[in-house]
Amino acid sequence: MENVQQVVADDAALIEKLKHGYQEILRELRKVIIAQNSVVEQVMICMMVGAHSMITGVPGLAKTLLIKTLASVLDLKFKRIQFTPDLMPADIGRAARGDGRGPGDGTGRHVSHGSPVLRAGHPESDRTGRDLSSA
């Protein structure tokens, strides 16, 4: 019975620590991001459960500032990738490229390189060439 009580006490302490950390991060974000409480909380929840989030909206809603500030608060690397209409699938996923050896000599092979998106860590992306008719 003592073991169970210790586990419950440990879990309660971890939950309290998580709650305190969450509140500290929110406090720091709200110093910079004004009047976007719902978006900030949703991004935080996605981050804490290891999910992805897509923040959409018209220009000027502090989407980039939110992610840049979150990265700063958490001491993470921030990279911004400007997407263009000619974006290729290899730009997002892994790209396989030849290693420079000819396929005729039996030594040709493909080497997988991480894409710029995968190397960015926690990327924030934006789209150029916005066409309002397709929005």
Burial of residue 70 (CB within 10 Å: 0-12, 13-18, 19+) is: buried
Give the pLDDT score at 124.
63
Strand partners, 98: 110
Whether 16 and 61 have beta carbons less than 8 Å apart is answered as no
Higher-confidence residue of 112 and 12: namely: 12
- Amino acid of residue 120: A
Structure tokens at 103: 């396929």
Residue-wise pLDDT tens digits, 43-82: 999 888 888 888 888 888 898 899 999 999 999 888 877 7
Residue-wise pLDDT tens digits, 28-46: 999 999 888 899 999 999 8
Give the pLDDT score at 104.
46
Give the C-alpha separation, 35 to 117, whole Å: 30
Q: How many residues does the chain have?
A: 135
Strand partners, 111: 97
Beta strands 95-98; 110-113: pairing state: antiparallel
Residue-wise pLDDT tens digits, 75-134: 988 887 777 777 766 666 555 555 555 554 445 554 555 555 555 555 666 665 555 455
DSSP state of 87: -
pLDDT of 17 over the 80 cut: yes
DSSP state of 101: S
Question: DSSP H helical segments within the chain, as ranges?
Answer: 2-30, 37-48, 63-73, 89-92, 116-119
